[in-house]
Amino acid sequence: MSRLTIEMLFPEVANLHGDNANITYLAQCRPDAEVVRTALNDRPAFLDRRVDLLYLGPLTERGQLKAIDRLQPYRRELEARFDSGGLTLFTHNALEVLGTRIRNPEMGYEAQGLGIFELETTLAMMGRYNGKVMGPVTELPDAQPIVGYKSQFSMVEAGSGIDGFFTATRGIGRNPSSAVEGVRRGGFIGTSLIGPLLVINPHFTRALLAKLDPDTEPVLAHEEYAVKAYVERLREFRDDRRWHDGERVQKPIVSR
Amino acid sequence: MRVLLAVWAAKLTGGVLRALGRQGTHVPGMIARRIHPGIIGAVQHPPRVVAVTGTNGKTTVSNLLAEALQGEGMRVASNRSGSNLAAGITAALIAAVDWRGRSRADVGVFELDERSGRLVLPGLHPDVLVCTNLTRDSIKRNAHPEYIAWILSSELAPDTTLVLNADDLIASSLGGEGNRRVHFAVDRLPSDTTSPVGAALDAMTCPDCDALLEWDHWRFNHIGRARCPSCGFSSPEPAYRARDIDADREYVVLDLDGDAREARLVNDNIVNVYNQIAVAAVLDVLGVDRDRIVRAFDTLAPPTTRFASERIGDALLVRLLTKGLVGVACSRAFEYLRSFPGRKAVVMSIDEWSERENEVENTAWIYDADYEYLADDTIEQIVVGGHRRYDQALRLAIAGVHPSRIVTLESETEPAERVDVTDADVVFNLHSVHNALTTGDRVQARLRERLGARTGERG
């Protein structure tokens, strides 16, 4: 067993919606893990040393702009990390930081992202979207889909050829007209889902632990409760009565 | 004419609803807004208008303010018996005018839902707006406190005087350059620390240079007094301060812009100490004589609290409203629970009922709550009931509660039967808002019975 290093980028501003529990839980699954917390004014650790998992969580709108500003000098290093298989997880609106543009007309700004992915984000500050999402991932059998929640101001339009984290079988993906949720490239996974993802999807967490350290049998912390909670949630996610019109993928306006 | 039409329609509807035994504090406002969407601004206001908003304490502050101003002999228009949304404020404004649309009140005190600022503030145009605090609330509705601050600041007129909490770096910076701001605060308490802990930490960085802030004293979430070690930024200086709090003697010193006065402490919960100094600050801004401000607290009734305790034999039974979906509120309840001395047993059923049948509750909020307060050796058992029991149990385990102390049951009321009360000094009944009258009442009754039986056996 080699000691894992997990780097959390900017946890003092990227900590909304309880999502930092992704890392708390992962670290409890691997009690030997070192968690490095990199502040806004610090140099990211992944530039200078081996980091097994790089994580960025949900940000305020102002926090998004700060994250873009701080990561801009390391755009190439981030891209190289993704392409070389360096495991990286961005949740909620952190993914948008890596896109080409973020538009927020109500707050009166339009910002360039890092431009690693061809993603254009538009925020509707008076139209927060809340919903559920479910879909299978390549790491797991179809019987163990990802389950999660969206609670966000933003919708994302993606250029062609950008692989999703998964394709939703229920709920919307990057935007109301797409079932493709999030982004995957090399070792990078970006998803808008909160929950937190790794806490409410223990099978996926186990698969991630196996990727992080192929030589060690993954062990889930508090496995009994984690699996029971997943089974119960999945049962409810499979219940048609619990899905609403706003959670259906709509046809794009041009094709209606 | 359209204004009068809206006023008449609202008054008639209100009269009919009251005759039917209903409150009539929301629907009349809805109807008036439908007839005249700008009615909040068009209807005649009382000569002075105070709006009270914030995440916690707005009901208490607006009620205390209304009571104190009535004590000054003023006719007060308020929405204290109605809703704090646009319709409720509309109904309250209309109730305060006569059939010819002329205001009959001397002052208006309106509690304002912080997310409704966009619909209300442009028309209401308050002379004074007090913001008690802005902390995290419902993820689905309120997103994060900076968002709420943006809504409020976007809609504030530059001539509104702002009475703000200096110990809250988000609320304290509300408004624009033109707004006059006065700040209130509660001086350092023995229980304060200098190191923030917990899941819901906002405003941890300097707004000017992004450096991590240092804390002269930190209380909870982002409440406390901070400064930047890099650029010299610091929390605003409060003109109004509560200090020397003595809960046993019900005593507090209220420093009113350098003029220190001894006053009765209305309630010793820290949130209510903030509420009291906020009320004093607003009354001072409104020009109420300072002697009378202090005397007003002699008679003001303590606010309704979210807990009740009863002694049964040698045990204490404590009922604690633990507002599901709002992590910050739960953290305060858990922290309070832990502060009780002695061995504790806990019954906890805090699922969101409204999402039980036709939704799947988004439980992300439980990771915004500090369940770590419950990982304490004096808490010997936590029996979790309800639909989301495994999510709750997992959260407790992640927080460090030993699995041997966690029991899960599908029923929300069965935990009252199963909790081990044999040796507990304090037994807690934690329920949420929507299940208060069902689960909360039944669990309370059963725990009361069991503790009564325990007392009888011990004779």
Cβ separation A194–B362 shorter than 8 A: yes
Q: Do A222 and B394 touch (CB under 8 A)?
A: yes
For residues B50 and B110, is the Cβ–Cβ distance under 8 A? Answer: yes
Q: What is the pLDDT of residues B296-334, one digit of tens each?
A: 999 887 776 678 899 999 999 999 999 888 999 999 999
CA of A199: which chain B residue's CA is closest?
B394
Average pLDDT, chain B: 95
Position B323 scores a pLDDT of 87
Asked, for residue A253, whether it belongs to a domain, the answer is no
User: Which residues in chain B are closer than 8 Å to A241, comparing Cβ atoms?
Assistant: 357-358
State the average pLDDT over residues B268-281.
Answer: 94
Q: What percent of chain B has pLDDT over 70?
A: 99
- Say how many domains are in chain A: 1
Q: Which of B205, B367, B394 lies closest to A229 in CB terms? A: B394
The per-residue pLDDT for range A186-221, each reduced to its tens digit, is 999 999 999 999 999 999 999 999 999 999 999 999
Angstrom distance (rounded) from CA B387 to CA B244? 45
pLDDT of res. A256: 44
Q: Name the residue among B327, B362, B397 with its Cβ closest to that of A149.
A: B362
Count of residues making up chain B = 459
Whether A25 is in a domain gets the answer yes
CA-only gyration radius of chain A, Å: 18
Give the CATH number for residue A30: 3.40.50.880
Nearest Cβ partner for B140 among A107, A151, A226: A151
Nearest to A7 by CA among A38, A31, A48, A32: A38
Query: Has residue A75 been placed in a domain?
Result: yes
CB atoms A17 and B360 under 8 Å: no
Mean pLDDT of B334-361: 92
pLDDT per position as a tens digit, B170-188:
999 999 999 999 999 999 9
Contact residues for B353 (Cβ-Cβ < 8 A; gap 6+): B432, B434, B435
The confidence score (pLDDT) of residue A251 equals 75
Asked whether the beta carbons of residue B201 and residue A12 sit closer than 8 angstroms, the reply is yes
For residue A256, tell me if it sits in a domain: no
Q: Which residues of B touch A19 (CB under 8 A)?
A: 364, 367
Domain ranges, residue A182: 5-247
Domains and CATH numbers, chain B: 2-184+265-296 (3.40.1190.10), 307-458 (3.90.190.20)
CB B427 within 8 A of CB B345: yes
Looking at residue A2, what is its pLDDT? 79
Look at residue A254 in the predicted model and tell me its pLDDT: 57
Band of the pLDDT at A101, cuts 50, 70, 90? Answer: very high
pLDDT band at A1 (very low <50, low <70, confident <90, very high): low
Tell me the two tokens of residue B219.
């209380």
**For residue A253, what pLDDT is reported?**
58
Complex confidence, ipTM: 0.97
B214 touches chain A (CB under 8 A): no
| Least-confidence region, from B5-9, B356-360, B361-365 | B356-360
> In whole angstroms, what is the distance from residue A93 CA to residue A125 CA?
14
pLDDT digits (tens, 9 = 90+) for A147-180: 999 999 999 999 999 999 999 999 999 999 999 9
Q: Which long-range contacts (CB under 8 A, 24 or more apart) does A72-80 make?
A: A72/A114, A74/A44, A74/A47, A75/A114, A75/A115, A75/A116, A77/A46, A77/A47, A78/A114, A78/A116, A79/A116
Are the beta carbons of B360 and A237 separated by less than 8 Å?
yes
| pLDDT (average), residues B290-297 | 96
- Within a domain: residue A255? no
The mean of the pLDDT values for chain A is 96
Specify the amino acid at residue B446. R
Contacts 24+ apart (CB under 8 A), B335-338: B335/B220, B335/B370, B335/B373, B336/B307, B337/B373, B337/B374, B337/B379, B337/B428, B337/B430, B338/B373, B338/B374, B338/B376, B338/B378, B338/B379
Touching check for B16 and chain A: CB below 8 Å? no
A252 located within any domain? no
Give Cβ neighbours of residue B308 (< 8 Å, ≥ 6 apart): B318, B319
Q: Give the residue from B169, B391, B407, B408 with the most A CB atoms within 10 Å of its CB, the best one to mutate.
A: B391
pLDDT 10s digits, B28-41: 999 999 999 999 99
Lowest mean pLDDT among A26-40, A233-247, B219-233, B319-333: B319-333
Distance (Å) from the C-alpha of residue B387 to the closest C-alpha of chain A? 9
Look at A225 and B397 and tell me if their CB atoms are within 8 Å: yes
Q: Please write the tens of the pLDDT for every residue from A104-151.
A: 999 999 999 999 999 999 999 999 999 999 999 999 999 999 999 999
Contacts A16 to B, Cβ<8 Å: 139, 143-144
Which pLDDT band, with edges at 50, 70 and 90, does B70 fall under? very high
